[in-house]
Amino acid sequence: MEILAFGVQADEKPLIERAFRDQEEVRCLDVFLNEDTAPIAAGHEIVSTSVNADLGAAVLEILAAGGTRMVAQRSTGFNNVDLDTAERLGMTVARVSSYSPYSVAEFAWALAMAVNRRVVRASIRTRDFDFRLDGLMGRDLHGRTAGVLGTGKIGEAFARIAHGFGMRLLGWDVAENPACVELGMRYVPKGELLARADLITLHVPLMAETRHLIDAAALKAMRDDAILINSSRGGLIDSAALVGELRAGRFAGVGLDVYEAEAGLFFLDKSLEAVEDDTLARLVTFPNVLVTSHQAYYTEDAVGQIVDATVRNVLDYREGRRSENVLVPRS
């Protein structure tokens, strides 16, 4: 029976087709799952979705009415899924609980280095044969302080790189990671981390408790010359409040691979359209801000692991097994 995969990127398609080749038939669509596209899934018992899919109650109702019984999400995050509705409808939901933490941690560092050393501005200038150094001065990160909010696998990988740079480490999490403590990380309250860190990076999941973890008060607590990096979930930062602080001339650099209202924008070509999101439009105009399109996870290694895990989730569903990836079990 054919599986329908929504939101498949061009680079991702051959990996999905190859992984499913000996197990299931799969049809890949580049459109994202939402209320308008959900009827396409009629007749498909299993659908696979990407991180920006709309899996709210209305969409799940449409899927269930069309015969869908299993949703295999190709991401770790599941804040886009109405789990209560899925359970009520008897739909199995699975995700990918983990993949290469280095993909996200290394990209977070790419953002940090790019904004610190003004790489994007320098690249634009040299394309115009402007080789001046004015406005391109950065700072050594060696000897400065990195603050890691969320010290799971990705936060630990980021901390290891920071340790290699010779940075002091501050951490904040609900539980200490012994590996980070061995690196010399000192766990402190969030307020102290924000006030002391030169470089702040976010690696926590998006939940009700963490939404706008970096709100107006948190932003004001940060150093004026701090660097802020978010490669986790857009909803962790109050974007409107961030714009307000940037307009006041604060922060040495901000790197955002995620944005709280990215659904319907990220992964799509909007270059010929008027973007109606005033906050995002303002963010990309600041010279010390770099916005990328949720690509931190997008390496051959990580996507390969995500696809392989998705195949296992489908096989587990077929054979009635349950793993740590199952959010709503088969009824």
Q: Which two tokens stand for residue 143?
A: 């000897």
Nearest to residue 229, comparing CAs of 104, 50, 120? 104
Residues 245/286, Cβ–Cβ less than 8 Å: no
> Length of the chain, please?
331
Residue 127 parent element (H or E):
helix 119-127
CA pseudo-torsion sign 76, 77, 83, 89? negative
Identify the active-site residue in 74, 260, 262, 312: 262
Identify the active-site residue in 44, 203, 233, 250: 233
Residue 233 among the catalytic residues = yes
Phi, psi of 257 (to 5 degrees): -95, -5
Residue 262 among the catalytic residues = yes
Strand runs labelled E in the chain: 2-5, 25-28, 46-49, 70-73, 92-94, 145-149, 168-172, 186-187, 199-202, 227-230, 253-256, 289-291, 326-328
Catalytic residues: 233, 262, 294
